[in-house]
Structure 1
Amino acid sequence: MADPLTPQVSDRICAHMNDDHAEAVLLYARIFGQTPQATAARMESIDTEGMNLTADVAGQPTPVRVSFEQPLQTSEDAHHTLIDMVKQARQQAQAAGAS
C-alpha cells in the first residue's frame, strides 16, 4: 500500500530524486517551472499540489514552484506523476531544440 504524502515521505522522495534523478529535477525546473536558464536544480519538497525546487540561475539560488495538474494523494501518485512529467519535459525540451 502506498504511503500518504507526509513531510517524511516528501523528504524520502526528494532525497531519491536529488541523488538519483538530478537531470529530471532540472527538467522540471526548466520546463514546468519556466526557468529555462537553470543550470542545476534540487527538489526541496513535494506536496499534494506541487513541488518546490531551488534552481541555480546565473549562479543564484532561485525558488521555483511547479504545480501538478491533478492533486496527489499518495507516494504512488507522486511516483507516476513525476515519471509522466519527466517524459513530457523531455519531449518539450527535444521539440524546443529542434525548432
Structure 2
Amino acid sequence: MATADVITPEVSTRICAHMNDDHAEAVLMYAKMFGNATMATAATMDAIDPEGMDLTAQVDGAATTVRITFDHTLTDSEDAHQTLIAMVKQARQKG
C-alpha cells in the first residue's frame, strides 16, 4: 500500500490534474455546493492545501475564483482523497 504524501505544491498539482482530468463533474459540484457558485457551468481545481481548495468556476461566461475551506485541516494526500470523496457524497445528497 502506498504511503500518503504531505500536501506540497507538487502533490497539489498532481491532485488537481487528476480531479480536472477524471472528475470534472465532482469539481463543478464542489463549486456549486460548497463555493456558493450555484450558477457555475464548469469549474477547475487550481490548488489544494491542508486548509482548503482554490477553484476557477465559469459563471455567466466569466472566470470566477472560488475558495472552499475544508471542515478540518488535512493531514496528507490520503486525507485529501477521503475528504474529497466525502464532499462529493454530501453534494449528491443535497443536490
> TM (normalized to structure 2)?
0.97
Distance 1:89 1:45 in 2: 20
Q: What residue in structure 1 maps to residue 23 of structure 2?
A: 21
Of 7, 21, 25, 1:5 maps to 7
Structure 2 residue aligned with 1:43: 45
Q: Which residue of 1 aligns with 2:59?
A: 57
- Rounded to whole Å, the distance in 2 between the matches of 1:54 and 1:89 is 18
Instruction: Work out the CA distance in 1 between the residues paired with 2:41 and 2:76.
Output: 30
Point out 4+ residue stretches in structure 1 off by more than 2 angstroms: none
Which structure has more strand as a fraction of its residues? Answer: 2
Letter in 2 for 1:34: N
Report percent identity of matched pairs: 65
- More helix per residue: 1 or 2? 1
Give the number of equivalent residue pairs: 93
5+ residue gaps, structure 2, are: none
Q: Provide the TM-score with structure 1 as the length reference.
A: 0.93
Structure 1: which 5+ runs fail to align? 94-99
Q: Partner of 1:82 in structure 2?
A: 84
